[in-house]
């Protein structure tokens, strides 16, 4: 063996090849398993006929998304997911169900019989979403010189620069939904009295 071949062999042994498709890392395996569990919880959320069970499965699906963010090392986004979606939106949904006295058990009126039309619309919407995202990010490059993409600094500056108005509109919408649930529960209480 020549000296150059020995040096090249030693360099390869010192720096092993990065893991590829056929040799996934533990984080990639965990990401896949949590993703499958999250997808399963989301499917149960939209297919169950019990509203309270749907809300509780939504908690599992949103919690799974938070774990996915943690696996992507975006800790800030993961905690925002837990605090805002799991902590606030689902609690608001459960309060709305309780205040409007929605049926706890199976709801016969929750199924309209339009499952095939809903499936076609869902598949078309998912296809359009995938196409839009792939088209939008085809020429997008990540700036590796700036702050980390999942960091608090990068996320905060992006949110407050571009997405302040939609977040405020969402908070007004959630407040209106809560007020509407209270108004509906009071009207039913007066009708029963």
pLDDT in tens, 77-127: 888 888 888 888 777 777 777 776 666 666 566 566 777 888 899 899 999
pLDDT at 92: 77
Q: Please say whether the beta carbons of 67 and 79 come within 8 A.
A: no
Q: Give Cα separations from 187 to 94, 100, 127 (angstroms).
A: 19, 10, 42
Cα–Cα dist 111/103, whole Å: 14
CA dihedral 164, 166, 171, 175 (to 10 degrees): 150
Q: 162 or 41, which is more confident? A: 41
pLDDT at 48: 85
Q: Reduced to 3 states, what is the DSSP secondary structure of residue 50?
A: strand
Full-prediction pTM beyond 0.85? no
């Amino acid at each position: 063996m020549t000296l150059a071949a020995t040096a090249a062999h030693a360099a390869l042994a010192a720096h092993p090849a990065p893991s590829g498709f056929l040799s996934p890392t533990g984080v990639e395996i965990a990401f896949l398993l949590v993703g499958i569990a999250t997808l399963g919880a989301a499917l149960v959320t939209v297919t169950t006929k019990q509203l309270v069970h749907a809300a509780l499965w939504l908690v599992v699906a949103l919690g799974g998304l938070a774990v996915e963010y943690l696996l992507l090392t975006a800790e800030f986004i993961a905690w925002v997911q837990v605090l805002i979606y799991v902590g606030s939106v689902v609690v608001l949904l459960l309060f709305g169900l309780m205040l409007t006295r929605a049926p706890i058990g199976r709801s016969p009126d929750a199924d309209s019989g339009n499952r095939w039309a809903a499936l076609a619309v869902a598949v078309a919407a998912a296809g359009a979403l995938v196409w839009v995202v792939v088209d939008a990010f085809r020429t997008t490059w990540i700036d590796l010189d700036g702050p980390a993409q999942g960091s608090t600094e990068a996320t905060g500056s992006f949110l407050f620069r571009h997405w302040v108005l939609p977040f405020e509109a969402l908070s007004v919408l959630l407040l209106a939904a809560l007020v509407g649930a209270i108004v509906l529960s009071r009207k039913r209480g007066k009708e029963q009295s």
